[in-house]
Amino acid sequence: MEEKYFLKNKDNPESKNIDFYVKNGGYKAWESVLEGKSPDEVIGEVKKSGLRGRGGAGFPAGMKWSFVPKDSDRPKYLICNADESEPGTFKDRYIIEREPHMMLEGIAIASFAINCHQAYIYIRGEFVYGAKVLDEAIAEAEARGCLGKNIMGTGYDLDIAVHRGAGAYICGEETGQIESLEGKRGWPRLKPPFPAVVGVFNSPTVVNNVETLANLPLIFNRGADYFAGIGPNAKNTGPKLYCVSGHVKRPGLYEFPLGKNLNELIYEDCGGIRDGHELKAVIPGGSSVPVLRPEEIDVSMDYDSLAAIGSMLGSAGAIVMDDTTCLVDSLLNLEQFYAHESCGQCTPCREGTMWMVKILSRIEKGQGRMEDMDLLDDVAKNINFRTICPLGDAAAMPAMSFIDKFRDEFEEHIKQGGCPIQKDKSIKVPNADA
């Protein structure tokens, strides 16, 4: 796929304005849906396209919509999850700030498919500028008759409201987000019932990620077959945004078909590892997924290929680490984040994340014991899959994979009574004394 979809206007500051969007074919897909398709046909088309959720789980979007009961007498709601909080991830923020109408058009199409007349955008509290852009874009779309009452004269009504969160990682999880949207503490709910049946305000609700919804105009402008033909894998289709941060020459946001080879992404598109250093590790899908060693990165960046080698695509936020990286310190940094962001509802997560921080701090300070390795692994395993929501898993999986794949470095910390990398004068660690 040579032509870009998400990033085609990345150098044009007018891309966020409705005049620019409409001039370049914007809201044509929405118009075609309103005038020529039924909700069931829209769901069928999305199923045919193979679109999978871009928030991390990769669940088929059309199938998710089909779980909403048609015979319910409750109103239906759609929530756009714009609470992008996964470390190493910045794709949704680009869409929010630079292509808001692409996202709004997708929200409208999804809302029509589930017979929803009130949609919410739950945006991360720190995205102050993004919230402003969305408010302005919604006002523009309403003034044009693309949103609001009697849209395009069809009798269909849709109101979209922007709801700002307070910066909690846990509110990126769909049921925690629903609780927060209702004005309560963002504690995830036990499932079942699932949101499609009992969601926000005890009504059927679909929660979709920003990037997922922003793909919908492409599907209904170019057709499901066109979308399904993008990418090397029939089960992983469509364009995909990849975030690359860390020790590469050209970090940034990249767009390729879903299934881009990770080795090519790092060494060709991102220019490789910075001069004088070698690749040490890559976290391929945001900080919550298992880490990869250099010999494992010749892999397709899709849901199934990464799962087959024991990792995950997640948010497609690749974090690249070279040989100056202390992996004990890196894991400690991650676990401090998850311990801080734990909502405290589940004992394994609330207590276990703090225990991991204590163990890793001891190792990093040169006070570690060899039995700490098994203890850390045991704590992580007793968190994994034992909590209401995936935050516990997000903390446990990096710990288990770091220990499994880089155990020797952890043991060297313990043997040497401190970080062997910073003691090695041949490797210059930036700001080591800061």
Q: What is the pLDDT of residues 309-347, one digit of tens each?
A: 999 999 999 999 999 999 999 999 999 999 999 999 999
Q: Three-state DSSP class for 362?
A: helix
The predicted-structure confidence for 43-60, as pLDDT tens digits, reads as follows 999 999 999 999 888 899
pLDDT of amino acid 227: 96
Euclidean distance between CA atoms 424 and 414, whole angstroms? 16
Report the half-sphere exposure of 429 (CA within 13 A, side-chain side): 17
Q: DSSP class of residue 171? A: G
Please report the pLDDT score of residue 267 as a whole number: 97
pLDDT at 420 (0 to 100): 81
What value, to the nearest 5°, has the Cα angle with vertex 188 and ends 182 and 191?
110
**What's residue 430's pLDDT?**
46
- For 89-98, write each residue's pLDDT tens digit: 999 999 999 9
The predicted structure's pLDDT at residue 424: 58
Which band of pLDDT confidence, cut at 50, 70 and 90, is reported for residue 405? very high
As a whole number, the mean pLDDT across the chain is 94
> What fold is seen in the domain 13-228?
Rossmann fold (3.40.50)
- Sorting pLDDT into bands at 50, 70 and 90, what band is 64? very high
Note the pLDDT of residue 423. 61
pLDDT digits over 338-370, tens only? 999 999 999 999 999 999 999 999 999 989 999
Per-residue pLDDT tens digits for 283-309:
999 999 999 999 999 999 999 999 999
Task: Return the pLDDT at 284.
Answer: 96
Alpha-carbon 250 to chain mean position: 21
Closest listed residue to residue 303, CA positions, set 54, 95, 49: 54
* pLDDT tens digit sequence for 211-258: 999 999 999 999 999 999 998 888 899 999 999 999 999 999 999 999
C-alpha 209, offset from chain centre: 8
Q: How far apart are CA 333 and CA 340, in angstroms?
A: 11
Query: Please, where in the chain does CATH 1.20.1440.230 lie?
Result: 327-419
CA-nearest of 190, 114, 109 to 147 is 109
How open is the CA angle 420-426-432, to the nearest 5 degrees?
A: 60
Determine the pLDDT at residue 433.
Answer: 39
Contact 301, 259 (CB under 8 A): yes
Q: Which residues contact 186 (CB under 8 A, 6 or more apart)?
A: 165, 168, 170, 171, 176, 177, 179, 180, 343
Domain ranges in the chain with CATH number 3.10.20.600: 239-322
Q: Which residue has the higher pLDDT, 64 or 427?
A: 64
pLDDT of the residue at 419:
86
Bigger pLDDT: 2 or 14?
A: 14
Give the pLDDT confidence score for residue 351 in this predicted structure.
96
CA dist 412 and 375 (Å) reads 17
Summarize pLDDT for 167-209 with one digit per residue, the tens.
899 999 999 999 999 999 999 999 999 999 999 999 999 999 9
- Determine the pLDDT at residue 156: 97
Q: What percent of the chain is modeled with pLDDT above 70? A: 97
Sign of CA dihedral 125, 126, 130, 131: positive
Task: Name the segment(s) of the chain with CATH classification 3.40.50.11540.
Answer: 13-228
DSSP string, 45-73: HHHHHT-B-TTTT--BHHHHHHTS-TT-S
The confidence score (pLDDT) of residue 234 equals: 81
What confidence tens digit (pLDDT) does each residue in 102-127 have?
999 999 999 999 999 999 999 999 99
Give percent above pLDDT 90 in the chain. Answer: 91
Task: State residue 2's pLDDT score.
Answer: 67
Specify the residue for token string 């929530």: 79
In the structure, what pLDDT confidence band is assigned to residue 426 with cuts at 50, 70 and 90? very low
Contact between 106 and 66 (Cβ < 8 Å):
no
Looking at residue 52, what is its pLDDT? 96
pLDDT recorded at residue 232: 86
pLDDT for 434 equals: 32
CATH of 239-322, one of 2.60.40.740, 3.10.20.600, 2.20.25.90, 3.40.50.1970: 3.10.20.600
Phi/psi region, residue 417 (left: phi>0; alpha: psi -120 to 50; beta: rest), is left
**Per-residue confidence (pLDDT) for residue 230, from 0 to 100:** 94
Q: 327-419 has which CATH code?
A: 1.20.1440.230
Pick from 57, 43, 164: nearest CA to 112: 43
What's the whole-model pTM score? 0.93
Asked whether the bond before 204 is cis by omega within 30 degrees of 0, the reply is no
Paired residues of 242 in beta bridges: 254
